[in-house]
């Protein structure tokens, strides 16, 4: 997965009894049993080749990569959202059925009231790709998120955020016309710059949605001006 070094390979199948937390509601447990055929912890980035990041807000000591085999790819979003909440570490979920696959990423921070729990703040799930048939979109995703192409190795937090942002850009490329030019930008070497780009792209997406739904001409003009200003900032990154 993503050309990860062999030293990070795990290949451990997760027993179903360990996959379903006892505290889940019966109907959720039922959905998991109906829709998940098996789960494998394929890789995990551990050790200090990429330094850990541990503070009051984050706990990045490991980045895990899971393969979820589903009965139907249509259930991928539900399973991804559920397990990004259940799995406390930063993780990448590959969800697939007999024909298709998709990838899930999520940004997490520690719960400020209980640092044994996490809060998911942002999520992205990629497009659905056919497993057997090649596509330019899938090739681009696998290339741009390959281990050797992730630039920021300052710590596991910045490393994972870069993978998240790359997945977000590729999955929302129509939001900003210059999206693909960002992939070769020097922004990846700076965590703060990458965070700023994500904030601008998120704001651009939400502002465009508001502009489409607006029925007031004056409000549309104001929102369109905000859109132009955000695009100008992105163009100058």
In a domain, 181, yes or no: no
Distance CA 217, CA 112 (A): 42
Q: Identify the residue with better confidence: 114 or 91.
A: 91
Per-residue confidence (pLDDT) for residue 23, from 0 to 100: 92
Q: Binning pLDDT at 50, 70 and 90, where does residue 6 land?
A: very high
What is the C-alpha separation between 38 and 69, in angstroms, rounded?
Answer: 5
**Residues forming a β-bridge with 107:** 122
3-class state of residue 143 by DSSP: helix
One domain, residues 93 and 124: yes
User: Both 26 and 118 in a single domain?
Assistant: yes
Co-location of 116 and 196 in the same domain: no
| Residues 195, 138 share a domain | no
Q: What was the pLDDT predicted at 134?
A: 84
Instruction: Give the per-residue pLDDT at 161.
Output: 98
Q: Is residue 180 part of a domain?
A: no
Ordered DSSP codes for 75-138 = GHHHHHHHHHHH--SEEEEEEE-SSEEEEEEEEEEEETTEEEEEEEEEEEE---EESSS--HHH
Q: Give the relative orientation of helices 191-213 and 217-235 as an angle to the nearest 10 degrees.
A: 160
3-state secondary structure at position 43: strand
**Residues for the chain: how many in total?**
237
Range 113-133 average pLDDT: 94
How many percent of the chain have pLDDT more than 70? 100
Checking if the pLDDT of 181 tops 90, the result is yes
* Domain assignment of residue 15, given as a range: 6-171
Residues 125 and 25 in one domain: yes
User: Ramachandran region of residue 3, left (φ > 0), alpha (ψ -120 to 50) or beta?
Assistant: left
pLDDT 10s digits, 39-51: 999 999 999 999 9
Count structural domains, the chain.
2
């Amino acid at each position: 997965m993503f050309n990860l070094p062999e030293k990070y390979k795990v290949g451990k199948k997760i027993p179903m009894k360990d996959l379903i937390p006892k505290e889940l509601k019966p109907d959720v447990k039922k959905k998991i049993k109906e829709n998940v055929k098996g789960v494998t912890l394929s890789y995990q980035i551990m050790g200090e080749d990429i330094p850990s990041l541990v503070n009051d807000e984050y706990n990045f000591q490991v980045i895990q990569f899971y393969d979820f085999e589903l009965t139907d790819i249509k259930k991928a979003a539900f399973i991804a959202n559920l397990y990004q909440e259940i799995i406390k570490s930063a993780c990448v979920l590959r969800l697939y059925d007999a024909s298709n696959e998709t990838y899930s990423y999520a940004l997490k921070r520690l719960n400020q009231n209980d640092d044994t729990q996490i809060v998911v703040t942002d999520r992205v799930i990629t497009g659905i790709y056919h497993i057997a048939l090649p596509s330019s979109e899938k090739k681009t995703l696998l290339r741009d998120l390959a281990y050797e192409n992730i630039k920021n190795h300052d710590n596991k937090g910045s490393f994972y955020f870069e993978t998240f942002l790359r997945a977000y850009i590729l999955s929302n490329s129509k939001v900003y016309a210059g999206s693909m030019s960002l992939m070769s930008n020097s922004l990846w070497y700076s965590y703060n710059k990458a965070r700023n780009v994500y904030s601008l792209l998120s704001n651009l997406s939400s502002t465009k949605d508001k502009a489409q739904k607006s029925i007031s001409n004056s409000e549309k003009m104001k929102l369109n001006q905000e859109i132009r200003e955000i695009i100008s900032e992105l163009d100058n990154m």
